Structure 1
Amino acid sequence: MHYREVSGDREFVARLAHGEDWRAQIEDFATSEGIDAAFFVGLGAVEDATIWYYDQDREAYDAAEFDEPLEVASCVGNVSLLDDEPFAHTHAVLSRRDGTSFAGHLDAATTFAGELYVRAFEESLERHHDDVTDLDLWEL
């Protein structure tokens, strides 16, 4: 395990805008507030979603698209820099009307309603290519 201590005292609550992309709003917020590193949790509902699943054998993402209203039962993620821009690494558990749910990396979703808690860190976190996983991971 690689690690380092981070600190921060900037905390935010936010209401996501109806009709806008869930993840893009987090990235835009980070840019406007000068946030290079943060942790966030959220909940709400979306009108549609694209979820990615990383196939470890192929080292590639597979996309699943859902064109239906979904509850965001849980959303968790972090903000760090990727190519010098804030990137919101976002995972979500989404549920249907019948209660069935699915989860994965939230690539995109049209917000119906959403609420977030964000804790920003003073130190920057940057993502760099990791040869072992073929992913962009934190360089600690």
Structure 2
Amino acid sequence: MHYREVSTAREFVTRFETGADWREELESLADAEGIDAAFFFGLGAVQDAEVWFYDQTDTEYYPVEFDEPLEVAACVGNISWLGDERFAHTHAVLSRADGETLAGHLNAGTVFAGEVYVKTFEAPLERAFDDTTELDLWPL
């Protein structure tokens, strides 16, 4: 296990614009407010979605696209630096009208409605390549 203590700094609630991209809305907030590290929770609905699945054997992300309205039953993630950009690492549980759920790394989704709570950390976090998983993770 790797860990470090963090202190929280600021908190935000935000409502996303209909027609915008879910993850880009988070990254725009981070840029506008100078958020270098944060954790977020959200809910709402998207008009479509691109969910990524990370294949642990191939060490590759594979996209799955859904061109249909979906509820965002739960969205959780964090914001940190990835290279020279703020990155919103976003996971979501999405549901169809019949209650079937889909889940994974939400790469993109056209917002129908979205409400998100963001809690920022005082110290910045920057992702770095992890040799074991071949993912960009927090080097704690």
1:123 matched residue in structure 2: 123
CA–CA separation in structure 2 for the residues paired with 1:8 and 1:90: 20
1:42 matched residue in structure 2: 42
**Shift of residue 48 of structure 1?**
0.1
1:65 is the counterpart of 2:65: yes
**Shift of residue 119 of structure 1?**
0.2
Amino acid at match of 1:51: V
CA–CA separation in structure 2 for the residues paired with 1:111 and 1:119: 21
CA offsets 1:32-63 (integer angstroms, 9 cap, x no match): 10000000000000000000000000000111
Amino acid at match of 2:123: E
Question: What TM-score do the two structures reach when normalised by structure 1?
Answer: 0.99
**Shift of residue 97 of structure 1?**
0.3
CA–CA separation in structure 1 for the residues paired with 2:26 and 2:35: 10
CA–CA separation in structure 2 for the residues paired with 1:16 and 1:131: 36
Mapping for residues 24-103 of structure 1, pairs under 5 Å: 24-103=24-103
CA–CA separation in structure 2 for the residues paired with 1:115 and 1:22: 10
**Shift of residue 106 of structure 1?**
0.2
Compute the RMSD of aligned alpha carbons.
Answer: 0.6
CA–CA separation in structure 1 for the residues paired with 2:27 and 2:15: 14
**Shift of residue 139 of structure 1?**
1.1
Q: What percent of counterpart residues are identical? A: 66
Q: Secondary structure at the match of 2:128?
A: strand
Q: Secondary structure at the match of 1:23?
A: helix
CA–CA separation in structure 2 for the residues paired with 1:117 and 1:127: 22
Amino acid at match of 2:72: V
Q: Secondary structure at the match of 2:8?
A: coil
